[in-house]
Amino acid sequence: VTLAPAAPRVAGLLVCGCAMPSLEVIASTLVSGVLLGGMLGLTALGLSIVLGVMRLVNLAHGGFLVVGAYAGFVLLARTGIDPLIGLPLIGLGMGLVGYPLYRLLLAPFAGKGPEASLMTMFGVSIIVENLLVLGFSADTRSIDRAYATTALTVGPISMPQIYVIGFCISVVVILAVHGLIAHTAFGRDLRASADDPGAAAVVGVDLARVHALTFALGAAAAGVGGTLMGVAFSFTPSTGPSYLLNDFAIIVMGGLGNVLGTLVGGIVIGVLQSLGGLTLGDGYRDLVGLVLFLIVLTFRPQGFLRGRVG
C-alpha cells in the first residue's frame, strides 16, 4: 500500500534526473509546477480555514480529499456525468456531510483543549480509509477522461491539459471563498470568531453555528479539490496522509487561515516539488515538500505570509 501520490499520468513529462535538462524542459517544469501548485492550494484550503477559525487540526482532511476523488470516480461510473461538471454537486454533498459531522463529533469538545478533537478526527480518518477499502478495495484507481492524459503545447513549453483546467477551477474557487469571507455577513462572523471568539460571542455571533458552517465549507472545498486531484492523478484509499502532509506544508508557507495565502503556498510547493523531481529524481518530489515543511515549522512556525483569516 503506497501513501505517495502516483506520478502524473501524462506521458512526456516524467523527466529523469538527467545531467543537464534542456531549457524547454526547465521551462515546462516551472509552468507545470505553478499550475499544479494552484490545484494543491485548493486541496489545502479546507485545512487552512478550519485551522485558522477554530484552531482545529483536521487529521481527516486527507481522507476528505480522497473521498472527493472517489466521489468523482463513482459519479462518472454510475451516471456518466463528467467529474468536472459534477464538482458543485460533490462540493455540496461534502458540505452536507461535514455540517452534521462537526455538530455530532466536534462541537462537544469546543473550548476543551485541542487534543480531543485532534484524536477524534484521527479516528474519523481511520474509519474513512477502511470504509473506502471495504467499498472499493485497496486497488489504485483513476478517473478516465481524455483531457486528463493529453498534453497542451504552447510554443516550446508543454504542460498537462488537466493542470491548466485544474488551475483555473482552483483559482476561481479560492477567489470565491475569499470573497465569501471578505464580503458577506457570514464571512464577517467567521473573521470575528477567528480573531477573538470571546468578543464575537459577546456581540451575538453564534460560535457553534459559525464553526459548523466553516467546517462544512472546509469539507466542501476538500471535496472539490480531491476530485480535481483524482482526475489528474491516480489514487488509493490510503493516499490521504500524503495529501494531508503536502497541505500542511502549503499552509505553513501561506500562513494559517490565509485563504489567498494557500494559493501562494500551493504554487511555492508545486514549483519546488517539480524542481526537486527534475534535479533529484521523481521519488524525491514529496520529500522536498516535507523537508521544507519541517524547516519552516522550525524557524518560522507562523508561516511566511501573515497568518490571518481573510
Partner 1 sequence: VSALSVSAKAANRASGVPWLAMAGWLALFAALAGAPAVLDQYFVEIGFKFLVFCVLAEAWNLMAGYCGLVSLGVSSFFGLGGYVAVGLLNNTGLALAPALAVAALWAAGMAAIVSRALFRLRGLYFTVGTLALSEALRLFVINAPFFGGATGLVLRGDPPDAAALLRDATVAFALATLVMTAATRSRFAVLLSAVRDDEDAAAQVGVRAFRIKLAVFAAASALVATVGGLQAVKLGAIEPYGSFGLQWSVDALTVVVIGGIGMRLGALVGAGFVIALGELLADYPEAHNAINGVILVVLIRFAPRGLCGLIADLARNLRRPRGEKSA
Residues of this chain that interact with partner 1 (CB under 8 A) are: 1-4, 55, 57, 105, 108-109, 112-116, 118-120, 122-127, 129-131, 133-134, 241-242, 244-245, 248-249, 281, 283-284, 286-287, 290-291, 293-294, 297-298, 301
| Closest separation in Å from C-beta 206 to partner 1 | 22
| Closest separation in Å from C-beta 290 to partner 1 | 4
Q: For partner 1, which is the closer residue by CB, 113 or 204? A: 113
CA distances from 302 to 7, 25, 270 (A): 31, 35, 20
| Closest separation in Å from C-beta 108 to partner 1 | 6
The residue whose grid cell reads 493529453 is 150
| Closest separation in Å from C-beta 99 to partner 1 | 17
| Closest separation in Å from C-beta 114 to partner 1 | 5
| Closest separation in Å from C-beta 306 to partner 1 | 18
Q: For partner 1, which is the closer residue by CB, 187 or 241? A: 241
* 243 closest CA partner among 26, 25, 63, 21: 63
Q: For partner 1, which is the closer residue by CB, 189 or 247? A: 247
Q: For partner 1, which is the closer residue by CB, 129 or 189? A: 129
Q: For partner 1, which is the closer residue by CB, 141 or 178? A: 141
Q: For partner 1, which is the closer residue by CB, 24 or 115? A: 115
| Closest separation in Å from C-beta 130 to partner 1 | 4
Q: For partner 1, which is the closer residue by CB, 99 or 167? A: 99
Q: For partner 1, which is the closer residue by CB, 89 or 105? A: 105
| Closest separation in Å from C-beta 274 to partner 1 | 16
Residues 98 and 211 sit within 8 Å (Cβ to Cβ): no
* 43 closest CA partner among 274, 266, 271: 266
Q: What DSSP string runs through the chain? A: ---SPPPP--TT------SS--HHHHHHHHHHHHHHHHHHHHHHHHHHHHHHHH----TTHHHHHHHHHHHHHHHHHHH---TTTTHHHHHHHHHHHHHHHIIIIIGGGTTS-HHHHHHHHHHHHHHHHHHHHHHH-S--B----HHHH-EEEETTEEEEHHHHHHHHHHHHHHHHHHHHHHHSHHHHHHHHHHH-HHHHHHTT--HHHHHHHHHHHHHHHHHHHHHHHHHHS-B-GGGHHHHHHHHHHHHHHH-TT-HHHHHHHHHHHHHHHHHHHHHH-GGGHHHHHHHHHHHHHHH-TT-SS-----
